[in-house]
Structure 1
Amino acid sequence: MKVLVTGGTGFIGRNLVPELHERGHEVTALARNPDEAEFPDGVETAMGDVTAYASIEEAFEGQDAVVNLVALSPLFKPPRGLSHMSVHLDGTGNVVRAAEEHDVGKIVQMSALGADPYGPTEYIRAKGRAEEVVEESDCRWTIFRPSVVFGDGGEFVSFTKKLTPPYLAPLPGGGKTRFQPIWVDDLVPILADGLDESHDGKIYEIGGPEVLTLAEVAKLARRAEGQSVTVLPIPMELAGVGLKVGGAIPGFPMGADQYRSLKFDNTTSDNDVRNFDIKSEELTTLEEYLGVESVDPT
């Protein structure tokens, strides 16, 4: 199968492209700067920006499927000149349009847990509206909604460490927001399986083997550095004011949207890894990846 991966040089793309190649697919990695990643011999690259339709259209010619991974991180404010709507919604619209015009048979869409056109954050709303665009397309489709993804080159652990300095860390709501982190090496085979027709028309919520609070993740991340951390609870209302003020400062990583994202959990209601002949307990935990022991939830 000829497979185009948009966002091919991103965190997940750099892991998925080799997986698809090893399975015998003819893979093309599309990115704004495709030379940023090193791929196995035989993998093609193409330059393009999903927010600019003319720059990506040619890459869709002759493809059997496209895996749309292009995304902005929900953990940080979007870079100047970009927004979640312009990348996730408009970018997905361009991917769908190019796929339809070039008779690409299948779209595998990377979405996010909680995706909802009327959700509480711009990121969640943009992901939800992008899902609607995919579902309304003329292509076959499969949609994945993963929780946060960790691994070498990922942002989740490094962001948590940036948010929680060692020894004493003030966290909104005491860091009680819950996540279900999944290792990238566990996720990419699932995404690759999504190309199969048996998964057409399905939306899968994907999470890791355990649920961890932000405070627990912070303690694990610091333990991996040989450090300890005590969480200082900050009332959500007070944290919201602080982040609103801080968000106006150039270079400050968080803003109102990121604050709102900490007010709801990022966990599956029923982990769909079972649809890929995987048992949740077989997946890699964050502790195993970091090489540390579990923390006391209290």
Structure 2
Amino acid sequence: MDVLVAGGSGFIGQALCRVLVDRGHEVTAASRTPDADGLPAAVETAVADVTDSNLEEVVDGHDAVVNLVALPSHVQPRGQSHEAVHFEGTRHLVAAAERTGVERFVQLSGLGVESGVDTAYFRAKRRAERVVRDADLEWVIYRPSVVFGDGCAFIPFVERLSPPLVTLLPGGERTWLQPIWVDDLAPMLADGLEDDRHVGQCYEIGGPERLTLAETVSRIRGGGAVVSIPMGLAAIAAILVDPIPWVPFGRDQYRVLGLDNTTADNDATEFGVSSKSLRTLSAYLADEHR
């Protein structure tokens, strides 16, 4: 199979490209500024900006497209928006795939998309899912919880959010996460390309641990006190710092406090994977600090 991985030189994209090459597929990693570092030598690279509606030349000739292009949920870089990248970008990729005869489209969404939480990230992701579902393509959608691993954005974000000795954390005991290791997720994404039984399915996937945000911070920091602060105070702080681009907390981050970002039934089992076989965040962090 000839696969185009949009966002293929990114964190999850590199892991997926390695799996696809190992399984014998032809792979092209596309991004605005493709970087071959971290990719297998067999992977070709291509320049593609999903905010551009003219993507046929990049998509043409591929049997399948995987859309991993994303902005981190906790930031909105200057000059970009979740609407432009997640929704419009998906719409452009889907249209190009339909026009060039692509058979299968795999979409990476996010756990919590249907939670009712109203953030720019979730709104754009919800609209993107509808575009994929309505497409004249074989589609598979994945909604993972937070994804960790070498090169991820999640662990550095937590480190920025939390000083090493004492962390003041709104919603620390109310926000739940189910972190999944990127090298556990990537084979499941590859399975969605290869196995017809996954067509038309939306999978909610998490790792083996259900952790509060406070527990997650403590693990990443290797200790230190985590002190909850009143939600009313957090709301005021979010309003005040929201216009400051380099502060990793704002109104949208406040809105997700208290979100249960875990799976009711972990769909990892749909890929022949038991929860016990998945790598925990604790084990990953222990290995990283040996």
What's the CA shift for 1:175? Answer: 4.3
* Aligned residue in 1 for 2:251: 256
* Aligned residue in 2 for 1:192: 190
- Call closer, same or farther: CA 1:61–1:24 in 2, change over 3 Å: same
- Structure 1 Cα separation of the partners of residues 116 and 127 of structure 2: 9
* Aligned residue in 1 for 2:132: 134
* Aligned residue in 1 for 2:161: 163
- Structure 1 Cα separation of the partners of residues 184 and 215 of structure 2: 21
* Aligned residue in 2 for 1:287: 282
* Aligned residue in 2 for 1:295: none
**1:54-203 → structure 2 map (5 Å cutoff):** 54=54, 56-75=55-74, 77-116=75-114, 119-195=117-193, 196-203=195-202
Pair 1:221-2:233 in alignment = no
Mapped contact 1:117–1:125 kept (Cα < 8 A): no
What's the CA shift for 1:174? Answer: 3.5
Mapped contact 1:14–1:37 kept (Cα < 8 A): no
Mapped contact 1:171–1:232 kept (Cα < 8 A): yes
Q: Which of 230, 238, 241 is matched with 1:235 structurally?
A: 230
Q: Runs in 1 of length 4+ with deviation above 3 angstroms? A: 116-119
- Call closer, same or farther: CA 1:12–1:187 in 2, change over 3 Å: same
- Structure 1 Cα separation of the partners of residues 149 and 133 of structure 2: 30
Larger CA deviation: 105-114 vs 120-129: 120-129
Mapped contact 1:8–1:14 kept (Cα < 8 A): yes
Mapped contact 1:21–1:27 kept (Cα < 8 A): yes
- Structure 1 Cα separation of the partners of residues 167 and 173 of structure 2: 10
What's the CA shift for 1:102? Answer: 0.3
Question: What amino acid is aligned across from residue 26 of structure 2 in structure 1?
Answer: E
Mapped contact 2:176–2:258 kept (Cα < 8 A): no
What's the CA shift for 1:241? Answer: 1.1
Cα deviation code 1:78-113 (max 9, x no counterpart): 111211111110000001000001010000000001
What's the CA shift for 1:173? Answer: 2.4
Percent of pairs with identical residues: 53
- Structure 2 Cα separation of the partners of residues 46 and 118 of structure 1: 36
- Structure 2 Cα separation of the partners of residues 133 and 29 of structure 1: 22
Mapped contact 1:116–1:129 kept (Cα < 8 A): no
- Call closer, same or farther: CA 1:36–1:175 in 2, change over 3 Å: farther
* Aligned residue in 1 for 2:272: 277
- Structure 1 Cα separation of the partners of residues 156 and 142 of structure 2: 24
Larger CA deviation: 109-118 vs 254-263: 109-118
Matched residue SS, 1:104: coil
Matched residue SS, 1:24: coil
Question: What amino acid is aligned across from residue 17 of structure 2 in structure 1?
Answer: V
Pair 1:206-2:202 in alignment = no
Alignment RMSD: 1.4
- Call closer, same or farther: CA 1:161–1:187 in 2, change over 3 Å: same
Larger CA deviation: 21-30 vs 116-125: 116-125
Question: What amino acid is aligned across from residue 252 of structure 1 in structure 2?
Answer: V
- Call closer, same or farther: CA 1:119–1:250 in 2, change over 3 Å: closer
Mapped contact 1:117–1:126 kept (Cα < 8 A): no
> What are structure 2's unaligned runs of at least 5 residues?
none
- Structure 2 Cα separation of the partners of residues 132 and 177 of structure 1: 27
- Structure 2 Cα separation of the partners of residues 83 and 172 of structure 1: 26
- Structure 1 Cα separation of the partners of residues 120 and 171 of structure 2: 21
- Call closer, same or farther: CA 1:240–1:36 in 2, change over 3 Å: farther
What's the CA shift for 1:229? Answer: 1.3
Mapped contact 2:174–2:259 kept (Cα < 8 A): no
Pair 1:47-2:47 in alignment = yes
> What are structure 1's unaligned runs of at least 5 residues?
293-298
- Structure 2 Cα separation of the partners of residues 4 and 233 of structure 1: 44
What's the CA shift for 1:143? Answer: 0.3
Aligned length: 286
